[in-house]
Copies of this chain bind each other. A is one copy, B any other.
């Protein structure tokens, strides 16, 4: 049942295991694993959130980085932005299908980290 994890080379079909530096995946990896990228995607996995809600959920993020990271994630097609032309404005952010795909891979990671973080920083740091 447990298919032993295939090697990176097999998974990526690299015959030498080298992932080139100039490579689209590096760009996407950087976007997703950017300082605030993971946190925003994971926050949105709970459902649609407004700008202000996102700010509060992802504690510590500045307005600048919230805007910037959201723009990148939107450009990559991970996040959908719905702006109501009302006064005052209301903007909803949610995951696209693509965003949900990658977030489903991110959640187990976050989960593992949250479970083990204490042991890790407690012992070594």
Query: A: which residues have CB within 8 A of B?
Result: 5, 7-9, 11-12, 17-21, 23-25, 27-30, 32-33, 35, 38-39, 42-43, 45-47, 56-60, 75-77, 98, 101-102, 104-114, 116-118, 120-125
Q: Main secondary structure on chain A at its contact with chain B?
A: helix
**Sample of 10 more A-B contacts, CB < 8 Å, known A29-B38, A75-B125:** A7-B45, A7-B46, A9-B46, A11-B111, A17-B57, A25-B110, A27-B117, A27-B125, A105-B105, A105-B109
A-B pairs with beta carbons under 8 Å apart, 20 shown:
A8-B43, A11-B110, A12-B111, A17-B57, A19-B57, A19-B58, A19-B59, A20-B59, A24-B122, A25-B113, A27-B121, A27-B125, A28-B121, A29-B110, A30-B35, A33-B33, A33-B38, A75-B124, A77-B123, A102-B112
Asked whether, in the complex, the Cβ of A5 is within 8 Å of the Cβ of B45, the reply is yes
CB nearest neighbor in B for A58: B19
CB nearest neighbor in B for A105: B109
